[in-house]
Amino acid sequence: MLIFAISDKGGTGRSVTSTNIVYRHALQGNDVCYLDFDFGSPTAGAIFSVGSVARGTTRKGLHDYLLGEGAPEPHRVDVWTESDREGLRTKPPGAGRLVLLPGNEGGGELPAVEEETLRRCVQLFSRLDEEFDLVMVDVSAGRSFTAEMVLQATVRLPSVPFRWLVFHRWTRQHIIAADGLVTGADGLLDAGTRFGHDRNALRDRIRFVRTAVLEPDAAELVGLRDEQRAWLFACDTELRELASRHKVGRTSMLGKIPLDPILQWREQLISDEDVLASKIANAETAAAFDDLAKKIVDDAAWEGL
Amino acid sequence: MLVMGEVHTGLLQNSGEIPESTCRDVLQLLSGERVRVSRRPIVYAVSPDLLTGVDCRLPSASQSRIRGAGTVLSRSSITGGRVVQGSSFTRIERSGSDRRQPWSHYLARPGVVEVLGKVKSRDLADGFAEDPPADGLDLGAISARFLDVVQSSPLLDRRAPFKIARTRLRWVAEEGEPAIRFTLHSEQMRTVRLVHTGEFTPAVADLCEDLALHDWLLTALLVIIERARIGGTPGPEAAVKLAPAVDHLLHLWMPSARVDDVLSAYWESLDRRPGFTRQWQSLVDRVRDQLAVHTLAFLREKSGGGAR
């Protein structure tokens, strides 16, 4: 299965959330790989703590591969052996493969979608689908040629299942923008339909993920004044109404990730050790990733709206 | 001088095995040419040989810039309606002249790449075991494409019973005192260095394809057993995870089935050490024993706790 991760704006936590989902999915015993298609700023290497490709690879990365620059196969990084983080460097018993395909250091966005580039993209998806249970593709933020390319590629791979995750923060602007990215002019649905997808079928394959969510009843808010808490509660109610008006509401939401200080200060994988031993991460955050990692392949969570 | 090749092997992207007639249709890459099929001891279908023209740098352990021009011979095959291979090889020969010839010259020698200039056979062979340089001869890329053509056939449903990586086996054959060395590199990469008496025949390529096929079977079975985590998960769960091996792999082991009698000694030597068949047999026994143990446990449970 192919999963495309996209967000309306930058800074939504798309990359850190999608990498954590992939990591949890591997821990659940599946073979997974992560494709850094955010060619403008390939940072997945840093999140997986693989120093050698922290800002993309200097070898043949995805960017070179897609543009046909002398790379029959893009560079692969086995996270379980190449991560600099000791806790990640041993594959836990029962875990599946965890492979990163980094972008190029200094690659830059795709200038256009050429037929040859598209053909290579289709070939890559097809080969990876043969090998991995889950292929997560970080498509970067907003409308881009990269998003158009993967929309076209999936038209050419009718029997390979795919799904889209749209990441957004829980604020007024982000809710409106996330809806716009999907249903707005030249959004995912418009572009997808133009390339040959069925609009309704495509709609059913898109779900929203809320990031950095602060629940009004969260433990962190105990110290707040009553006035502040009442204000937060009112805001949250308003956002819920806004979200459901924009069809970004609960029914089309796959999950939400609570606000966690560790993710605000450093984009990284949250391991069980971070939760249980060093206690720098919240258990709710790890649980939310774990839950999402199950839901992305659970058909019940993806039934028609 | 020497022959180099690369075989890629993978699981056919279809829910079940495909019948002989579908194998024929899937492999009909070149219209007008026939797909060859043999039925005993296992159904094996192979596409017509296709040529790819190359004019590029050749591998070299000493990093010398050696240029070669000619054609590479490739084919796709399906074994048991379940395992697919893309295979390419080419004979490297010294060119009669120092000048690049027109394509008609090379097309008259299918499957031969002529080296322009000086070259040492050993340097080429040693260089070939390493990853090809970006502008160098990459037989693996050609073989992968021949495998892709099969996997993307509209006749396949793409719902393979399990996910599994392709393996690649890079081989070099030279003339001399008979010997064979099989080396496992990374999870997917293998090399074979083979020395044969007398002239090279395509039977050597058949042998390497047969080795690649069986190495892939062994690798796939090991992966399935690892995923089942025998002893680490409840019995029924492990049994479910082992089932694809029984359904799709265990009956495919036919070492040396298509290998010329003259070359079967090579298979026998690899079967003595490292002992492919020995390892396969022990894994097969393990899978069957697990299923038997699970069945017994299930029966005991059904009869209400058994020895109460």
pLDDT (tens digit per residue) in A262-292 = 888 888 899 988 888 888 888 999 999 999 9
Predicted local confidence at residue B308, as pLDDT: 47
Q: Which residues of B touch A73 (CB under 8 A)?
A: 141, 144
**Inter-chain residue contact A126 with B166, CB threshold 8 Å:** no
Q: Which residues of B touch A29 (CB under 8 A)?
A: 227
**Inter-chain residue contact A126 with B138, CB threshold 8 Å:** no
Contact between A234 and A280 under an 8 Å Cβ cutoff? The reply is no
Kindly tell me if the per-residue pLDDT of A304 is higher than 50: yes
Residue in chain A lying closest to B142 (CA): A72
pLDDT in tens, B190-234: 999 999 999 999 999 999 999 999 999 999 999 999 999 988 888
Region class of A272: left (phi > 0), else alpha (psi between -120 and 50), else beta: alpha
Q: What interface predicted TM-score (ipTM) does this complex get?
A: 0.92
**Inter-chain residue contact B232 with A131, CB threshold 8 Å:** no
Cα–Cα distance, B262 to B180 (Å, whole number)? 14
Q: Enumerate residues 6+ apart whose C-beta is below 8 A from B234.
A: none
Q: Kindly state the tokens that stand for A167.
A: 């990441």
pLDDT in tens, B229-282: 988 888 888 999 999 999 999 999 999 998 999 999 999 999 998 999 999 999
Query: In this structure, what CATH number is given to the domain that contains residue A154?
Result: 3.40.50.300
Q: Enumerate residues 6+ apart whose C-beta is below 8 A from A130.
A: B10, B11, B13, B151, B160, B163, B164, B165, B166
Cα–Cα distance, A39 to A104 (Å, whole number)? 7
Cα–Cα distance, A291 to B3 (Å, whole number)? 53
Pick the more confident residue, B151 or A222: B151
**Inter-chain residue contact A131 with B166, CB threshold 8 Å:** yes
Going from N- to C-terminal start, the domains of chain B cover 2-172
Number of H helices, E strands in chain A: 13, 8
pLDDT bracket for residue B178 (50, 70, 90): very high
Domain that holds residue A53: 2-302
DSSP state of A252: G
**Inter-chain residue contact B152 with A126, CB threshold 8 Å:** yes
Q: Which residues of B touch A132 (CB under 8 A)?
A: 163
Residue in chain A lying closest to B238 (CA): A94
Q: Which residues of A touch B158 (CB under 8 A)?
A: 129, 159-160
The residue with tokens 């000619």 is B70
Kindly tell me if the per-residue pLDDT of A216 is higher than 80: no
pLDDT in tens, B97-144: 889 999 999 999 999 999 998 889 999 999 988 888 778 899 999 999
Instruction: Report how many domains make up chain A.
Output: 1
Predicted local confidence at residue A183, as pLDDT: 94
